[in-house]
Structure 1
Amino acid sequence: MFSPLPALPSTQAWDPALLKRYDISGPRYTSYPTAPSFHQGFGAEDFEAALARSNARPRPLSLYVHVPFCRRICFYCACNKIATKNTQLAEPYLSRLDREMVLTSRQLDRSREVSQLHWGGGTPTFLTLGQMGDLFDRLDARFGLSNSPDRDYSIEIDPREANVLTLRHLQALGFNRLSLGVQDLDPKVQQAINRVQPRVLTESLIDEARRLGFRSLNLDLIYGLPHQTPSSFAATLAQIIDMAPPRLSVFNYAHLPSRFAPQRRIREADLPDSDAKLAMLQTSIEMLEEAGYVHIGMDHFALPDDSLASAQRLGTMTRNFQGYSTHGNSDLVGLGVSAISRVDDCYAQNPTALADYEAALDAGRLATVKGIRLSLDDQLRRRAIERLMCDMALDLEALGHEFDLDATLWLDDALTRLAPSIEDGLIERHGSRLVVTPRGRLLIRHLAMAFDARLPKQAQERYSRIL
């Protein structure tokens, strides 16, 4: 693939009027086609067939495990979760997860390496140490986990529920990367989102992770939360930079109370306006780049020696349902309620309702409730969107060679839709090469939308705003 041009300083990219004009709603493209295109005509038998087909091209496996439980609800959260303080309620769920593992692994060649593993939620550290150990052992028994130093085994951590013993246990199990939720360090903001988390909790875990030798660590921040101001968020960023995490995700809060009930506890009057949010984004980019972080794209930042930054330089980075990822050449198997798989030429999704997930597995079948099998056009556009978002560049000639067709001719509609963005200096065309400019990096979701042939048929309001 074409190697992207080096980025210019972000100060050359900042044009508030232009950014506001392009700040529309659109997909994050963790998949293409996006989830609204999944349909109920795709079921468990279709997913089983996709799993079996994938053995013919035995790529490594990436496993995602969804643990939906949380002890308390954060008001901003849009994840699939169940609020409870009783860890025993997780036992029936872990039993169903094991049934799903058995049914899934039967279709797979056991020699395929599990190069990537991610536990998300909810709050995976809701589980007791014993439950985490049992789940890890079951995954190993069903799929055969890897001991390779190149494996990427990560877990999402709530610093309010984890301590030094938790990290030592996770390392002993085989995890080598951590993702810590922080969101903001300002006490007033924390109170408003029902997530009171003193800095010392986060800092002590980072220090211990460093001492234990975890290969990477990510912190999640959110801008646009109630009571945030550009100066208060800059203060949080300064403290985070002092902690020097190898990776950072700085997300834009999407306030969609009609879809996510906990968000109704947030007063809209307390939310920063669009000008303040743009100022927070600008501050984030400038402060992090000044501190030596590479702006990977969208909301991701990494230190130059982190594996994510290395993967981008090598052109091997990809996007999946956890965001940017270092392990692109793999089939993703999602386990648990609401989990989504990307296997062979298909996507398959489990039910979002726990009762439906349990009922399917109790009936002895995979819980797939919907999905899609990709056409050639879908596969070509997925590849184009992925490379554009990961490399900040797209080589149409190389794309055509990969699919044995004329990609420039095939994607003529996308190139036509890109014309205004070229005129506004968001992306440049050099023959068969498209190169995203520094200002275009901020609007990469909008540029990707030009390649989305299905978007005009979907309701835009279901998506968050780009900035």
Structure 2
Amino acid sequence: MSLPYPLPPSTAWDAELIRRYDVSGPRYTSYPTALSFAEFGPEEFTTALERGNASRRPLSLYVHIPFCRRICFYCACNKIATKNTDLARPYLTRLDREMALTSRHLDTSRPVSQLHWGGGTPTFLTLDQMSELIDRLDARFGLSGDRDRDYAIEIDPREADVLTLRHLQALGFNRLSLGVQDLDPRVQKAINRVQPRVLTESLIDEAARLGFHSLNLDLIYGLPLQTRASFAATLEQVIELAPARLSIFNYAHLPERFAPQRRIAAADLPGAEEKLGILQDTIERLQDAGYVHIGMDHFARPEDSLAVAQRQGSLQRNFQGYSSHADSDLVGLGVSAISRVDDVYAQNPTALGDYEAALDAGHLATVKGLRLSFDDRLRRHAIERLMCDMALDLGALGEAFGVDAEAYLSDALARLAPALADGLIIRRGPRLEVTAAGRLLIRHLAMAFDAHLPGQGGSRYSRVL
């Protein structure tokens, strides 16, 4: 079904209003967020895997490849810098062990509708290692050949070429995500990621020739030496390349948490006004070029599956951001990977040694997680629909959970009162609708529904914009 309200053609800009709401807060790739995870063992996770079989939901697999050949200074990912691809061999062995232990508790006749390799840099692997990993995944879970599958991989254009893309297509991948960040050579040098446009352009051309369903480019605003003019030049080139999707992430400078960021001089970062100007220009230019602002940092062409899913009301958020494949159980494999199965989140250790030791001892590496309460599940649904549909029907939410949603969420509605007064959200009976200005601050609006947030401390999160 189509959304019963029009999406805004442009974003309303009020700098003073935005400054008031630009606080630190979660991105809500999960609710509750990972900061709420507690001690959680393999037995609890395997029970969740078995319980989830009754749903017959499709499976979504995420594989974390932590290796990179070089470190980008902005990076906040869980990664290991090395140029030695032999180090991937023992890691692939441990991954296979994890797959074997996981698949024992899964009904593997459930279709694997979604597959995502992230990192690190998955294309750190040799072509033979990629083939080996796909073979092991297929043997353990049974991969799909369905045309509607969503099999994606993150690619560093500096570590891939046209032969890589042809190999990935042969392995069954049909969607690519290329890391670009910025096309300005000065910015690239400042973040230790020198990547001439020709590298990206050649891969985009080959992906189109090979018939990949969708291609995403990642950009980051707020990087050192960026200005409105320099990022506008990057956007102009990106629009010429015409990717189906774009992710425009906000750089969060947290050098106290992420050591590589200590190589970036705070004085080189664009100021708050310049950064907001970059974001304003970005949204307006992309919308003028025909892209749909899906929400937060995601843009897509109207015919792309993300935009279609949003129009149909089936868009979902997971640990990779927005997803067009709703209602699947996500199994995360590899160091630091997080699973979302039935009513449980389960996370592997972030230290490679701990991950290896657990699997060498013959059991899954799960160390943290959470089983959601009724309150968690209801609030998760409310946050997800608000962030995906840019609206929330309290009547439908109450029906789904058997409660008076307006009374149950009276605390959240009270916290939304300033946003209602400021025109970020409007109320039409039981329906909350996000306005053009509110769309920009959707993370802040979602925070009103978060019952875990008060005790977590905002400094643990990046700023909303």
Deviations 1:290-343 (A, max 9, x none): 000000000000000000000000001100000000111100000000000000
CA distance in 1, matches of 2:143, 2:404: 40
- 1:53-92 equivalences in 2 (<5 Å): 53-92=51-90
Q: Is the 8 A contact 1:256 1:263 kept in 2?
A: yes
- 1:259-274 equivalences in 2 (<5 Å): 259-274=257-272
CA distance in 2, matches of 1:119, 1:298: 22
Deviations 1:404-437 (A, max 9, x none): 1111111111011000000000000111100000
How far 1:182 moved relative to its partner? 0.1
How far 1:232 moved relative to its partner? 0.2
Deviations 1:32-61 (A, max 9, x none): 000010001x21100000000001111000
Letter in 2 for 1:427: I
Deviations 1:66-110 (A, max 9, x none): 000000000000000000000000000000000000000000001
Letter in 1 for 2:250: N
- 1:198-213 equivalences in 2 (<5 Å): 198-213=196-211
What secondary structure sits across from 2:243 in the alignment? coil
Partner of 1:401: 399
Q: Is the 8 A contact 2:2 2:311 kept in 1?
A: no
CA distance in 2, matches of 1:303, 1:327: 17
Letter in 2 for 1:14: W
What secondary structure sits across from 2:109 in the alignment? coil
Letter in 2 for 1:233: F
Q: Aligned pair in 2 of structure 1 residues 83, 133: CA closer, same or farther (>3 Å)?
A: same
Structure 1: where are the runs of 5+ without partners? none
Letter in 2 for 1:5: Y
Q: Is 1:20 equivalent to 2:23 in the alignment?
A: no
What secondary structure sits across from 1:119 in the alignment? strand
What secondary structure sits across from 1:55 in the alignment? helix
Q: Is the 8 A contact 1:340 1:348 kept in 2?
A: yes
How far 1:4 moved relative to its partner? 4.9
1:239 aligns with one of 237, 240, 244: 237
Letter in 2 for 1:32: Y
Structure 2: where are the runs of 5+ without partners? none
Partner of 2:337: 339
Q: Is the 8 A contact 2:2 2:312 kept in 1?
A: no
CA distance in 1, matches of 2:351, 2:94: 14
Deviations 1:387-407 (A, max 9, x none): 000000000111111111111
Partner of 1:29: 28
CA distance in 1, matches of 2:310, 2:341: 23
Letter in 2 for 1:328: A
How far 1:9 moved relative to its partner? 3.1
What secondary structure sits across from 1:364 in the alignment? coil
Sequence identity percentage: 77
Partner of 1:322: 320
Letter in 2 for 1:285: I
Q: Is 1:445 equivalent to 2:431 in the alignment?
A: no
CA distance in 2, matches of 1:320, 1:279: 29
Partner of 2:37: 38
Instruction: Tell me how large the CA RMSD over aligned residues is.
Output: 0.8
Q: Is the 8 A contact 1:133 1:173 kept in 2?
A: yes
How far 1:7 moved relative to its partner? 2.2
Letter in 1 for 2:181: Q
Partner of 1:351: 349
Letter in 1 for 2:193: R
CA distance in 2, matches of 1:107, 1:449: 35
- 1:352-367 equivalences in 2 (<5 Å): 352-367=350-365
Deviations 1:274-302 (A, max 9, x none): 00100000000000000000000000000
CA distance in 2, matches of 1:2, 1:388: 16
CA distance in 2, matches of 1:379, 1:189: 42
CA distance in 2, matches of 1:228, 1:122: 24
- 1:8-407 equivalences in 2 (<5 Å): 8-11=8-11, 13-40=12-39, 42-407=40-405
Partner of 1:416: 414
CA distance in 2, matches of 1:335, 1:212: 28
How far 1:3 moved relative to its partner? 2.7
CA distance in 2, matches of 1:4, 1:374: 31
What secondary structure sits across from 2:55 in the alignment? coil
How far 1:2 moved relative to its partner? 8.8
Q: Aligned pair in 2 of structure 1 residues 455, 2: CA closer, same or farther (>3 Å)?
A: farther
Letter in 2 for 1:424: D
CA distance in 1, matches of 2:149, 2:86: 31
Q: Is the 8 A contact 2:68 2:83 kept in 1?
A: yes
Deviations 1:163-214 (A, max 9, x none): 0000000000000000000000000000000000000000000000000000
CA distance in 1, matches of 2:255, 2:108: 44
2:454 aligns with one of 428, 453, 456: 456
How far 1:8 moved relative to its partner? 2.7
Number of matched residues?
465
Letter in 2 for 1:404: G
Q: Is 1:5 equivalent to 2:13 in the alignment?
A: no
How far 1:5 moved relative to its partner? 1.8
Q: When the two structures are superposed, what TM-score results if normalisation uses the length of structure 1?
A: 0.99
CA distance in 1, matches of 2:48, 2:355: 20
Letter in 2 for 1:138: R
Q: Is the 8 A contact 1:2 1:395 kept in 2?
A: no
CA distance in 2, matches of 1:4, 1:92: 52
